[in-house]
Amino acid sequence: MCWLCDLKTPSTTSTAPSEHRWNARRGFLLAAGTTAAGTALAQVDVGSASSMRNLVPAETLENSARQQYAQVIADARSKNVLAPEGHPQLQRLHEIAKRLIPFTTQWNPRAKEWKWQVNLIGSKQLNAWCMPGGKIAFYTGILDQLQLTDDEAAMIMGHEMAHALREHARERMAKSKVTGMGLSIASQLLGLGQLGDVAANMGTQLLTLKYSRDDETEADLVGLEIAVRAGYKPEASVALWKKMQAASGSNNNASFLSTHPSGANRIQELEANLPKVKHLYEQATQR
């Protein structure tokens, strides 16, 4: 898991009365990637997605995520902590999403059908996430406390989108189910239909799901490439994680630090991949 993807349960998304409050307004849908970026070859090397994920039907999980997302947003709205449509920070996030979305479909053809959605929730948490099917939330804490530039915010959004595109939640659910039952028993007892029910019932777990370190690396690199293709500076990925590292240094929550992969490794991995995507940035900025 990572600092960004340390998803909180719905109860912890509530905020103190002193925190941001907005009039309840509907978040809006962003059009799916109708201007698909074609079949550009991936520059970062993350291999193919785990076949294990096929044990959980994507459609079922996406439906489940849609319901869970609607609930989180309704909850935020009822607490007056959902950013209204005209909020400058939300507009900024929507602009970033519009630029990134066309470059998502090469990582997952299903994304053509996704109804991407981006909402901003008033909370001091340093958090952002994207549920299966393209349902994104940012918390004001991560934008405000880290003073994110557009390039850095784009790196976070790319990272979160990458988790959804690479179907890490689907993979985690399939693996936890199969591991829990033992592979041989599971293969005998579990049909796709049953796992489909599992996926439907696991919607609430989307908010507490922990990703593996490999998932995080993959999301870093895929997110980097998506953001750079959209014209955001590659170096912002490194700058972002340096800010994260600095923020963690001033955080006294020991378990927070002990459960997260080393920021230094993460930064090294990103730095090693910058040369692979540099030309994409030059292409994007020349368009």
Which residues are near Zn ion by CB under 5 A? 2, 4-5, 216, 219
Which residues face 196 on adjacent strands? none
Q: Report, in Å, the least distance between residue 150 CB and Zn ion.
A: 20
Tell me how far apart the alpha carbons of residues 259 and 284 are, in angstroms, rounded to a whole number.
Answer: 36
Of 7 and 32, CB closest to Zn ion: 7
- Residue 76 CB, nearest approach to Zn ion (Å): 21
Beta-bridged to residue 117, according to DSSP, are: 29, 135
186's tokens: 């599971």
Which residue number, 2 or 73, has a Cβ lying nearer to Zn ion?
2
Closer to Zn ion at the Cβ: 232 or 241? 241
- Kindly state the smallest distance separating residue 3's Cβ from Zn ion, in Å: 8
Residue nearest to Zn ion (CB): 5
Query: Which of 163, 171, 168 minimizes the C-alpha distance to 130?
Result: 163
CA dist., res. 162 & res. 224, Å (int) = 9
Nearest distance in Å: CB 164, Zn ion:
11
Cα angle 143, 147, 152 (rounded to 5 degrees) comes to 75
> Which H/E stretch holds residue 217?
helix 213-229
Q: Please, are residues 164 and 132 in contact by the beta-carbon 8 Å criterion?
A: yes
For residues 107 and 109, give the distance between their C-alpha atoms in angstroms, rounded to a whole number: 7
Strand ranges of the sheet holding 135-139, from the earlier edge strand across to the other edge:
117-121, 135-139, 128-131
Q: How far is the CB of 5 from Zn ion (least distance, A)?
A: 3
**Separation of alpha carbons 40 and 99, rounded Å:** 16
Nearer to Zn ion (CB atom), residue 71 or residue 212: 212
199-212: b (≥16 Cβ within 10 Å) or e: beebbebbbebebe
Q: Which is nearer to Zn ion, 7 or 230 (CB)?
A: 7
Could you tell me the smallest distance in angstroms from the CB atom of residue 256 to Zn ion?
A: 15
Look at the block and give the residue holding tokens 């990703």.
211
Q: What is the closest distance, in whole angstroms, from the C-beta atom of residue 44 to Zn ion in the complex?
A: 15
Report the residue number, 216 or 225, with the smaller CB distance to Zn ion: 216
Helices 213-229, 168-181: inter-axial angle, 10-degree rounding: 170
Q: Cβ of residue 246: shortest distance to Zn ion, in angstroms?
A: 18
When the beta carbons of 60 and 217 are compared against Zn ion, the nearer one is: 217
CA distance 132 to 68: 10
**Closer residue to Zn ion in complex, CB, 81/121:** 121
